[in-house]
Amino acid sequence: MADYIFLNPSPNLLKVAENVRNRGFDVKLVRNEQFPDISAETVHVFYNGTYRTFFQDEPGLGNSKRFMKMKKGFLSGFSVRAVSFELGSISRGLSTGDIVDLSLFRRQAIEDTYTSTQKISSASSFSAIAEDNGNAVIVTGYMEFVAGSEKLSMYDTDFDINQALGNDYIIFMEDGHRVELCRSGNRLVVIGNKNNDNLAFLSSKLHFLNKFSFKRVKELVISRNRMPWVMNSLDKRLILLNDFSYFNVSVKLSSEWFDKVGKQICADRQR
């Protein structure tokens, strides 16, 4: 029986899982079939009339100490405001961003494709995973959650989505909105505030989209840990981890970050 289930692991979460396994714990990797397969080789961020592009095969700048706060503390409210202030100091157009966006701009690189030596199994739902692994702690970077603040929408469309987006992941931060855009297979994937019409916002920025039709085939209300602290323990068996990733696209972090996160996860189980 596994001690830990790492659910829908990004490249960064795979490295955390390896760190935990190297500490002597039984680790299982699982993908939830509810979510689309999302990956990319480049990330483009559009803001304030300009954009930045971030690539794989870059070393990553500086260290990751800015992103090593493990848990919520007494001054956590100040940490949230500090992130917004720091993004605003880069550009006022980034003020709707979060700490993952900040890490991307500070580190300036995304993680290369990372393949685990351990097999990744599949499961139909989160509840099935929890039922089949009654004593395991589940660690994930995102999950379906009715009280979540974001929605992930998938669309069939009548244009060549592969030619249009390729292996790119796009983030728009304009007019108080923050919307993510990518593809999964032949489908368009849009992520944004659950109360907004995010496709309409994108169509107002990417006018070519107005020439095509879209049929929504799936929508999930989701929760991601976008707080300035890495670990959000929802209960004793579920950790929503800020793995500094956009689904399966990870910001490149230092080895010290993975060591500290792995150590904290194991220490919490032993208490």
Q: Is the pLDDT of residue 269 over 80?
A: no
CA–CA distance, 63 with 229 (Å, rounded to integer): 17
The stretches of 133-245 forming alpha helices (DSSP H) are 161-165, 198-205
Q: Where are the beta strands (DSSP E) in 27-127?
A: 27-32, 42-47, 50-55, 120-123
pLDDT of 135 above 90: no
Query: In the structure encoding, which two tokens stand for residue 40, read together?
Result: 């990319």
User: Could you tell me which of 2, 4, 7, 3 has the C-alpha nearest to residue 222?
Assistant: 7
Tell me how far CA of residue 111 lies from CA of 76, 88, 142, in angstroms: 28, 25, 18
Confidence band (pLDDT; 50, 70, 90) for 121? confident
Distance between CA atoms of residues 220 and 146, nearest Å? 8
Query: Using one digit for the tens of pLDDT, what is the confidence trace for 197-235?
Result: 999 999 998 888 999 999 999 999 999 999 999 999 888
pLDDT computed for residue 270 by the predictor: 60
Closest CA to 133 of 225, 255, 30: 30
Mean pLDDT of 170-185: 95
pLDDT at 236: 83
